[in-house]
Amino acid sequence: MVEAAGPWLVVGLGNPGPGYAGNRHNVGFMVADLLAERAGGGFKRAGRAQAQVVEMRVGPPGPGSRRVVLAKPTSYMNLSGGPVTALRDFYKVPLERTVAVHDELDIDYGTLRLKSGGGDNGHNGLKSMTKAMGPGYYRVRFGIGRPPGRMPVADFVLKDFSGAERKELGYFVDRAADAVEALVLEGLERAQSTYNS
């Protein structure tokens, strides 16, 4: 039984540094940044873990709110498992309260899918997390669509969103942040019924 007062760990996946900031692969960071902004918190270095964190609360003030440790690993995407495991150990967060927010190739741009567990679908951040701690964490999957023509997947995910995509990006990131909050506050099934489009 998970202690009711224990925190959740919400991890936005991405690559560190300004050169990657606008990449499709960094949409997890974008969602994390918006969640931190909503909470009025700034990211700080997390002790020995290779990550930046914001400790915050989600939900209305009072007993209905939830403690959340919001994190962005400062390792590269394919090494995300180490920092996430270090944070889980430090904050004593069980796997069933751990959430990864990430880009997803096999979903149309802007579409969200929430789920628990499953494979990594070739996503290096998820691959690293699953290798480090098993597959039983939640995923908030942000659709980025497939690359056009014969463009290699690696090139596509490390490119910035197109001009047309950027027109709607703010709305979709906002919706993904709402979905994270709903997952933490209301549980997977209710969040899925609202946000799995």
Reading the block at residue 136, the tokens are 């039983």
- 25: annotated active-site residue: yes
CA distance 71 to 11: 5
Query: Which one is catalytic: 10, 12, 15, 25?
Result: 25
Query: What's the number of CA atoms in the CB half-sphere (13 Å) around residue 158?
Result: 12
Q: Give the residue numbers marked as catalytic.
A: 25
